Structure 1
Amino acid sequence: MIQIINNVLNPEQIALLMHTISQGEFQCGKQTAGWHAQGVKNNQQWHGGEQVNEQLQQALLLYLTQHPQFSAITYAKKMMPFIISCSADNGGYGNHIDDALMHGEQMVRTDISCTIFISEPEDYEGGELVMSLGGAELPYKLRAGDAIIYPSTTLHKVNPVTQGQRLVALTWIESFIADSQQREMLYDLDCARKAIMQQNGKSHEFDLITKTHANLLRRWSAT
């Protein structure tokens, strides 16, 4: 399931984030790519001092995890530290699959990938995040503050940025529900029960869907 989450960051939060980023510097991003992806990775990665980086990590974690859609989509168990990526001067990232296991403070199985857009789409040319699914290519270029969440099993790329600068924040999530189809079913059930509650209040139908949602979550998170 590919899901867009709007307004993870508001304009004031983006401005604060840009101020934090200004206190660090960008270096070659190849060092964080797996051996099979280094040849197609052509971007810059932000580095800051320990205190500045901690401020950035805590802020992004708070903004993302407090969004009401985040939990229902991901069922997050562990998360990797955020990476701030900059693409400019024809920089991008060719077709690749994210590493299945990543090591931050702890080992994380990457079930879900997340990109939070920091730059406005009109601020740069190119730079679309492109998913390859069933022989089709699906491009995404979101507003600043919006995020896209997608299975880490997806082949994807970032088109070269021919003008301007593309800034994004990236993280990877290990879910209590490893199977993407099971996560999608739980999300659909959650959306259905919320719609029933909004339209009809707490009803017998709401209770049945809530029971099924909870029991599936209990069963699938134990595997």
Structure 2
Amino acid sequence: MLIPIPDLLDADGVRAVRTLIDAARWVDGNETSGHQVALAKNNLQLSKEAPEGLEAAQIILAALSRCPLFIASALPLRIVPPLFNSYAGGQALGTHIDNAMRALPGGQSLRSDLSITVFLEEPEEYDGGELTVETHFGVQQVKLPAGHAVLYPSSSLHRVEPVTRGRRVASFFWVQSMVRDDAARAILFDLDQSIQTLALQVGQGDPSIIRQTGIYHNLLRRWADA
């Protein structure tokens, strides 16, 4: 399930994040890579300890907490603090699958069910740099306006195409969902969206909404493994 999330950050949010990270120290992108990813990765990344990155990450996390589409599609349990990367001058990230486990601050770890990319540069400002994801419905390429995000299974094969002009700047991170199985999350998301659409037509108190909401929560109880 690949879910675009429009306008996760508004223009002010994008500006605030870019002001912070553009002034920070960037390092080799393999600082957070596993062995296989390191063989395919060629980019720059904001240091995990950079105070500017930590502050920018809080802006993104706050936006996620206000985003019903993210909450409905991801059913988030835990989130790795957002990181930031940059591609330019032909840099790219080859085809790979994200590591199954990710470290959290404090020594804990989470299961990476979902990956997120938040685009922080307007698409007309660079050539290439598409996020290419191999899904059950074929290969999909994503290149969104600044402030928009995309959510996709961490288990999917994906890559970033070479950036041949300009600079692609983005945030990336991972989510452990309350529901491990991608197909189950997709069913819950579709049901949630149907409930929201129907509620606009008949009102939240309509018996049909109450019944469907009950079905949703019973399925969530059955499938949640948190």
Q: What's the TM-score once normalised by structure 1's chain length?
A: 0.95
Aligned length: 223
User: Which runs of 5 or more residues in structure 2 are unaligned?
Assistant: none
Q: Aligned equivalents of 2:52 and 2:93: distance in 1?
A: 27
CA shift, 1:76, in A, is: 0.6
> SS in structure 2 opposite 1:36?
helix
Contact 2:122 2:144 in 1 (8 A): yes
The one-letter amino acid of 1:210's match is T
Match of 1:142 in 2: 144
The one-letter amino acid of 1:125's match is D
Give the 3 Å change call, closer, same or farther, for CA 6–52 of structure 1 in structure 2.
same
Q: Deviations over 1:74-131 (max 9, x none)?
A: 1111111111010000001000000000112220100000000000000100000001
Query: Over aligned residue pairs, what C-alpha RMSD do you find?
Result: 1.5
CA shift, 1:53, in A, is: 3.2
Q: Aligned equivalents of 1:61 and 1:44: distance in 2?
A: 22
Q: Aligned equivalents of 1:134 and 1:2: distance in 2?
A: 10
Contact 2:131 2:160 in 1 (8 A): yes
Q: Deviations over 1:138-168 (max 9, x none)?
A: 1110111100000111000000000000000
CA shift, 1:40, in A, is: 0.8
The one-letter amino acid of 1:101's match is M
> SS in structure 1 opposite 2:166?
strand
Q: Aligned equivalents of 1:222 and 1:16: distance in 2?
A: 36
Q: Aligned equivalents of 1:134 and 1:66: distance in 2?
A: 30
1:111 partnered with 2:113: yes
2:209 pairs, out of 179, 190, 206, with: 206
Q: Aligned equivalents of 1:210 and 1:94: distance in 2?
A: 42
The one-letter amino acid of 2:192's match is D
Contact 1:117 1:142 in 2 (8 A): yes
Q: Which sits farther off after the overlay, 101-110 or 159-168? A: 101-110
CA shift, 1:204, in A, is: 1.8
Q: Aligned equivalents of 1:177 and 1:137: distance in 2?
A: 24
Give the 3 Å change call, closer, same or farther, for CA 52–133 of structure 1 in structure 2.
closer
1:195 partnered with 2:202: no
Q: Aligned equivalents of 2:48 and 2:134: distance in 1?
A: 33
Q: Aligned equivalents of 2:51 and 2:122: distance in 1?
A: 27
Match of 1:37 in 2: 37
2:161 pairs, out of 155, 159, 162, with: 159
Match of 2:220 in 1: 217
Contact 2:119 2:148 in 1 (8 A): yes
Q: Aligned equivalents of 2:71 and 2:163: distance in 1?
A: 32
CA shift, 1:191, in A, is: 0.8
User: Which runs of 5 or more residues in structure 1 are unaligned?
Assistant: none
Q: List, as ranges, runs of 4+ consecutive aligned residues in structure 1 with deviation greater than 3 Å.
A: 48-51
1:97 partnered with 2:100: no
1:58 partnered with 2:47: no
1:75 partnered with 2:75: yes
2:179 pairs, out of 148, 158, 177, with: 177
CA shift, 1:50, in A, is: 5.2
